């Protein structure tokens, strides 16, 4: 369970009112100044807000991800989702491949749900079949999120 420092609630509450990349960068700078960037919970919240909630901030989210040591499955899923929902679903496949090669966090059912949607956006049946095989290998083919996407 994650326990918050006194400064974390302020950082997280500022994210709730952040509506543009300029303000987000100010919040991120404060997180860096306070030394909170290595906290996986804070880093995940920052990435999620930048990749999912803000418009026109996906490049910054990619940089955040790239400079995060040992991103966890939540961070991978967040970036994969942000990329597949954008005009760059092929980049979500790259993040997934990198996750499979380098990550210590195995993919979960959300990973496969997001990456299958990316393959669907690319209209790639071959990639979809390969992803289904990966879901089978990881024992996630019967999970509701993944199973429904392969129908």
Q: Count other Cβ atoms within 10 Å, centred on residue 38.
A: 11
Instruction: For the chain, give every domain's residue range.
Output: 1-69, 71-151
Q: Tell me the pTM.
A: 0.85
**pLDDT at residue 138, rounded to an integer:** 83
Q: How confident is the model at residue 136 (pLDDT cuts 50, 70, 90)?
A: confident
Cβ neighbours for 36, distance < 8 A, ≥ 6 positions apart: 5, 7, 8, 11, 42
pLDDT in tens, 30-51: 999 989 888 899 999 999 999 9
pLDDT in tens, 45-68: 999 999 999 989 999 999 999 999
Q: What are phi and psi of 138, to 5 degrees?
A: -90, 5
């Amino acid at each position: 369970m994650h326990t918050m420092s006194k400064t974390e609630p302020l950082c997280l509450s500022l994210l709730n009112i952040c509506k543009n990349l300029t303000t987000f960068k100010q919040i991120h700078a404060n997180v860096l100044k306070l030394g909170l960037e290595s906290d996986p919970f804070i880093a995940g919240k920052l990435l999620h807000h930048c990749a999912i909630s803000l418009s026109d901030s996906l490049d910054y989210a990619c940089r955040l991800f790239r400079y995060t040591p040992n991103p966890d499955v939540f961070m991978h899923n967040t970036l994969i989702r942000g990329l597949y929902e954008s005009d760059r679903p092929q980049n979500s496949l790259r993040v997934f491949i990198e996750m499979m090669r380098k990550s210590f966090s195995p993919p979960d059912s959300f990973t496969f749900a997001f990456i299958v949607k990316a393959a669907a956006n690319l209209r790639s049946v071959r990639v979809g079949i390969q992803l289904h095989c990966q879901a089978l290998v990881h024992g996630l083919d019967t999970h509701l999120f993944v199973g429904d996407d392969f129908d």
